[in-house]
Structure 1
Amino acid sequence: MKCFMFNQLKLYVNDELAPAESKGLEQHVENCPQCQKYLQEWVEGMQEVDFSDIPDALVPDTFTDEVMDKLSDAVPPRSTRKHSSRTRRQRGWDIVKKTGLVVAGLTALVVTGTVVSPTFANYVNSLFQIEKNADSGMKNAVNKGLVQKLEQKVTDQGITVELKELLADSMRIAVIYDVYDESGKKIEDHNLNAKLIDQNGKDWFEDDGGDNWGSHGEFFITERFLNEIFESTEATPDQLTLHLEQTEIADKTGKWSLEVPIDMKKAKEATKTVAFKDTVFQSPQGLGIELKNIEFSPSATRVMLDTTFPKSAYLEVERTSILYDRKNPQGAIVTEKERDPAFSGENMMYEITNEKGDVVAAWDMKSLDDELDNKENVLFTPRTEEEAEERPEGDVLNWWHTFGPIQGEQKLKLELKKIYEKKLASPTFDLVPTELDKKAATFKDETGSTFTFSSFAWEPGNGEDLGEAVMTIEGTLGKGIVENRDWSVKDENGKTYAASVSTESTRDKDGRVQIKGEISIPRLKQQPKKLTVSYATYMMEHDVKWEVPIEIK
């Protein structure tokens, strides 16, 4: 989905926005990865630079008179382009500079008297500002001085691992690096085993595995969120060492080992913590929420809270799934009873707003479709919860919700708006698949939800691959219901199969959720004559209201 501000960018480049609108757009682009990517592609698309059409830009002190003389000599005569083209180029450069994407000034490679268009990396002072997988938090950490250049590389078996930059924030560490062969070709078939060692020799990555796969842009980025390791910024050691190593890359055996010392003191000093005491909300449904701390670091914001719910708030769910393991490489259908909590610290919706009423961050249930959720500025981290602690009042779990950076001294407000509750269901929809193409089958269940099944398709198996049945499913969910989960199907012989439901959701004018998509039943030996479709649980939303003032000093 494209950012809704894309059309504004086009108007900006053409100088068709009012000054107030232009300023607002510039502020938006600072925190919008999609718009930044658009601008990056725009700059990268400039194959030939007409320097006479580019407005003056600040250059770093490192520019030498010699280079400036060469650039001056190499500039071609003034272009005879129309003024409108010059305006678009100028406005484009203007927003790129103002949003921090161009901070190092213009450089060019002078080859035999010809000015060659530089790569986009030449226009920035940090690769974190341009890599497609670098988010707004990484870019903000650059501006706060938490990124350092690295000049480390190791070569073995004709393969080089080169570390480019390190980001060390109290919330996470990240490394931009490159892996290439003797010809300079990038090697994507690799992973780096990482250790994070403190001054006592403890490896903080040891408990949760150390493999780091690099995402790929111009270079590779590997990152680890420290909030999955350290319970707070204060608990983070002042000195750490990142050890990256591998013994096999691209089917070649060797030894690639690099160490990077990390001083965390600057990152910890740049992090502000707002602590809360006895800030508790008790919902009518039995869920207790206690806000503990909010940490504001240059690269991220972390909300820490506890949830408490009674032991009676657990459900025994019969769930059918496909198990893949060494014994069952093709997959085996298993049906098990599992104990699920009715509530979760992930299944709530709240907003954090500033004094102007602008939403600077918003959390919502992860699994909601895009058209239903209210997420804003969320950074999904690997770990969001900690083991349950049993207390007389119920089970207590610790949760971390992570967002992009919220900076500056300001007053904010956290407003809890919804909590979601998982409930059991036991509907049964009896279908004759071959009749669905002639006439759709519609059912209404005990939750008030209505489902229509149609368009049955059968794909027979081939060799070891079993067959699959697919049907269209549409529905209007009961009032307050946002999702149906744990679907399963039985054939005419009573054999149970795991069903996969893929739908898109919208809300109608009455606020009820409409779904439309497909339900697929894999691992069928033959085309079924009859099917009984059911789902085991559904999610109910409850409107609540709880406000907590927050002041960043």
Structure 2
Amino acid sequence: MQDDNELVRLVLGGNQQAYARLVDKYKGRIFAHLYRMIGQRQDAQDLAQEVFTKAYFKLDTFHLDGNFSAWLYRVAANHCLDELRRRKQTVKTLGEEVELIDAKTPEDELLQKEQQQLLLRQMKGLEEEYRSVLVLRYIDQLSYKEISKALELPTTTVQMRPIEREKSCEKAWKKGGLPYMKCHKSDQLKPYFDGKLSSLESAELEQHVDSCISCQVELVRLMEGTPEAEEWLAEELLSPHFTELVMGDIARQAKSMNRKNTWRKRSLDIMKKTAIAVAGLAAAVTFGTMVSPTFANYVNSLFHTINQADGGMKNAAVEGYVQEVNKKVSDKGITVTVKEVLADPTRNALILEIVDQDGKKLDFKAREYETSFTLTDKNGKDLNPEGDGWARKKYGDYMLVKKDLYHLFTGAEEVPDEITVGFEFSKIMQTEGSWKLEIPIDMKKAKEVAKTVVINQEYTSPQGVVIKLDNIITVPSSSLLTLQTDWNEQRNEEYRKLIAEKGWNDAPEGPRKEIGLTDGERMQHYLTSYDLAYEILDEKGNLIAGRDDTMFHALNGIEKNRVENTRQGNGDSEGRGMAWWDGFTPFTGHEKVIFKLHSIYLNEPASFEAKIALDEWSKEPVVVENSGSTFTFSKFHLKKSDEEEMIGGYKWDDKGGIIEFEATLPKDIVYITEWKAKDETGKVYRVSMNNGDAEYTRSKDGRVQIKSALFIDGLERQPKELTITYGIQQHQYRDGNWEVPIQLEK
């Protein structure tokens, strides 16, 4: 992989795509830093866009042997300070919003969420110069030397200027966190991220978290500082087209430099919005109906302006499928207002505002609230009798309520012309009451532009996995690909034979004496699980969308333009037959696309074994080649306390043994699990691999390489010998040569 300075050289040589890669790499970190400084999400995004544009035209001032990230931070910090001075205002306190931010630097991890909250409260009202140092020091966790370079200040000045304020912040930091209500299952979240849960336990926890608000709050807290959070920041808080917007600004400014007159920022903003309006009208034509949304209707829509909206929602807002409601209900001094609804045949969404009697918006995200929802037609028929499937989340200063419809109706034509969403809050924060509303949603216009293209193509892979493409439904907020997968009879027979040979039919006939699955049941669960990867290409072969079920998307790089929460799966009683709805940002502007199968992932039994004498290990790393894998076990640590410690570059908070390793997996194997360890006495320990911090890359020959650590749960002493095994490996099959051209309706 090319480093930053190599990319800069390419940019200076005229390669703009190299600069787009730099923007993709740093946009989350720069946005996070600016957001903490400026206090407004949209302003921070605008500033981030300006920073990357400015940095592009200043690249010739960057020393090619220097640190690009420090240089970029300096450009961002100076630009932000100039903006603050121009406004003549101090930065706002961010409060609870800091939960959504990940400003992890390449070298360090973020402070915990509670520490950040206390620290930011201490910084309220500070001058910009003091605040910039504290944000870089405690939130971005730069060293004094790095801050000195970023702000172009002497190191001693950086250290001394805010020293008294730092002491007060440090005292607040060390006091601890903030109280919150915990669900008993939230204790499983950290083991989940540490890879200590089995696949089945993980799946059960994921299903629970989907409907548990308390666990969702804890989940956000734990996500702080993880690689997943940094990826989420770039995908969820920033516009999905951020990099394209930056490159567009660069192109416009480069063109304007050849003119005598210069454009003011206001003029650029107007031009940008006008361009979006034109694009929106073009998309409407592609759907087949000229919607002609007014400029104000969509530019001011919350679905269009709030950054958490996915690309599909923004597209629907641009095309005029957002209905303004402003219907409200009040009780106990609290008012709930439904601001807008998104009408779409595949999903409905509502944006709610909740304020107290003084008009202050309530931060319901980190508090308990109790709600129930209904979905009916205009005659009162219950369209969702089970009452499930409602998703709620924080959406800027608002609440987003969303319900997917595609599993309730077989096609857009079956969706009623009018549906009514009913909801009742019985508790908001600590206040009990009754806030009840019914919101009718006109679906006619959205149904009129829904286009269904029947595909009806089927393929059976050499491994016996059957894939059937049903159709593509294109609606205002997504292009929804529906497909079914199953096993053929030959594969089912091979599976049954394997289970019988291995003796994995060990499910108890009577009541279970112990909670949990037997070893055989665990293996059955793994072996009946399978995953897919496919690409959606344009007529020139360019990737416009993609699904990839592998745990580490960077290995293939085809996951693209997925619409949030639209992919679902329903399995049959045995778990092999599945029905899928995969949502992507609408394929507008394309008359034809190509479905291309990329991979099928199957779990298979593995027989890796490494026997290691600990006295040999203490002298030098131990290299083990077994079953096609090559492992280098470098260090062993025995953690004797439950206190959190940083060991081998990873954080651990339980007692046990820790083994650092690097490995090269067999050809086409992309993941391994079901680890066990046995000491010289024959005692067997449960082992988990640290997937959250693991590095997954590919070697030149395409084999997957891992750098990670294993945790041996319950190991209390250093054994003389350890035998380490894993029992499951995920095989990536690329031998399915299947492409399906799909003609989309104009």
Fold shared per TM-score above 0.5 = yes
**Separation of aligned partners in 2, 1:378 and 1:337:** 35
**Separation of aligned partners in 2, 1:455 and 1:226:** 52
- Closer/same/farther in 2, CA of residues 155 and 469 from structure 1, 3 Å limit: farther
CA contact (8 A) 2:527 2:604 kept: yes
- The residue aligned with 1:512 is 703
**Separation of aligned partners in 2, 1:265 and 1:551:** 25
2:446 partner SS:
helix
**Separation of aligned partners in 2, 1:547 and 1:539:** 24
- Closer/same/farther in 2, CA of residues 86 and 249 from structure 1, 3 Å limit: farther
CA contact (8 A) 2:374 2:387 kept: no
- Closer/same/farther in 2, CA of residues 512 and 395 from structure 1, 3 Å limit: closer
Match for residue 483 of structure 1 among 646, 671, 674: 671
2:493 partner SS:
helix
Greater alpha carbon shift after TM alignment, 403-412 vs 374-383? 374-383
- Closer/same/farther in 2, CA of residues 153 and 34 from structure 1, 3 Å limit: farther
Q: CA deviation at 1:357?
A: 2.7
**Separation of aligned partners in 2, 1:102 and 1:34:** 31
- The count of corresponding residues between Structure 1 and Structure 2 is 468
- Structure 1 gap ranges (5+): 51-82, 104-120, 320-330
Q: How does 1:53-452 map to 2 (within 5 A)?
A: 87=263, 89=265, 93=269, 96-98=272-274, 100=276, 124-183=299-358, 184-188=360-364, 189=367, 190=369, 192-199=371-378, 201-207=380-386, 209=388, 212-277=391-456, 279-309=457-487, 310=489, 311-312=492-493, 314=495, 335-338=518-521, 339-340=524-525, 342=527, 347-381=531-565, 384-388=568-572, 396-408=577-589, 410-431=591-612, 436=617, 438-446=619-627, 448-452=628-632
Q: Which amino acid aligns with 1:176?
A: I
Is 1:458 matched with 2:615?
A: no
**Separation of aligned partners in 1, 2:675 and 2:310:** 36
**Separation of aligned partners in 2, 1:248 and 1:501:** 39
CA contact (8 A) 1:427 1:535 kept: yes
Greater alpha carbon shift after TM alignment, 473-482 vs 526-535? 526-535
**Separation of aligned partners in 2, 1:203 and 1:402:** 25
1:267 partner SS:
helix
**Separation of aligned partners in 2, 1:124 and 1:480:** 48
Q: CA deviation at 1:99?
A: 5.4
- Closer/same/farther in 2, CA of residues 269 and 470 from structure 1, 3 Å limit: farther
2:312 partner SS:
helix
Q: CA deviation at 1:518?
A: 2.1
**Separation of aligned partners in 2, 1:305 and 1:198:** 28
1:120-146 per-residue CA deviation (whole Å, 9 max, x = no partner) reads x99932111121210110011012221
CA contact (8 A) 1:192 1:213 kept: no
Q: CA deviation at 1:210?
A: 5.4
Q: TM-score, normalised by structure 1?
A: 0.73
- Structure 2 gap ranges (5+): 33-40, 48-79, 88-258, 280-295, 505-513, 644-652
**Separation of aligned partners in 1, 2:619 and 2:277:** 58
Identity of aligned residues (%): 32
CA contact (8 A) 1:131 1:218 kept: no
**Separation of aligned partners in 2, 1:235 and 1:48:** 57
- Closer/same/farther in 2, CA of residues 201 and 438 from structure 1, 3 Å limit: farther
Q: Which amino acid aligns with 1:241?
A: T
Q: Which amino acid aligns with 1:458?
A: L
Match for residue 472 of structure 1 among 650, 653, 660: 660
1:490-533 per-residue CA deviation (whole Å, 9 max, x = no partner) reads 454523324243122111111111111222234x2623525433
**Separation of aligned partners in 2, 1:94 and 1:157:** 43
- Closer/same/farther in 2, CA of residues 257 and 398 from structure 1, 3 Å limit: same
**Separation of aligned partners in 1, 2:559 and 2:518:** 33
1:54-110 per-residue CA deviation (whole Å, 9 max, x = no partner) reads xxxxxxxxxxxxxxxxxxxxxxxxxxxxx999647367526642553999xxxxxxx
Q: CA deviation at 1:380?
A: 4.9
- Closer/same/farther in 2, CA of residues 212 and 347 from structure 1, 3 Å limit: closer
Q: Which amino acid aligns with 2:701?
A: D
2:717 partner SS:
coil
CA contact (8 A) 1:408 1:552 kept: no
CA contact (8 A) 1:102 1:123 kept: no
Q: Which amino acid aligns with 1:173?
A: N
**Separation of aligned partners in 1, 2:436 and 2:585:** 32
CA contact (8 A) 1:318 1:536 kept: no
Which has a greater percent of strand? 1
- The residue aligned with 1:537 is 728
Q: Which amino acid aligns with 1:288?
A: V
Q: CA deviation at 1:256?
A: 1.5
2:608 partner SS:
coil
Q: TM-score, normalised by structure 2?
A: 0.55
Cα RMSD of the aligned pairs, angstroms, is 4.3
Q: Which amino acid aligns with 2:700?
A: K
1:545 partner SS:
coil
1:285-316 per-residue CA deviation (whole Å, 9 max, x = no partner) reads 21221211111111111111222313235475
1:220-256 per-residue CA deviation (whole Å, 9 max, x = no partner) reads 2222222244343333333321112221121221111
- The residue aligned with 1:526 is 716
Greater alpha carbon shift after TM alignment, 539-548 vs 201-210? 201-210
Q: Which amino acid aligns with 1:489?
A: A
**Separation of aligned partners in 1, 2:85 and 2:298:** 15
Q: CA deviation at 1:334?
A: 6.2
**Separation of aligned partners in 2, 1:466 and 1:256:** 45
- The residue aligned with 2:74 is none
- The residue aligned with 1:77 is none
- Closer/same/farther in 2, CA of residues 521 and 496 from structure 1, 3 Å limit: closer
**Separation of aligned partners in 1, 2:563 and 2:503:** 32
Q: Which amino acid aligns with 2:725?
A: S
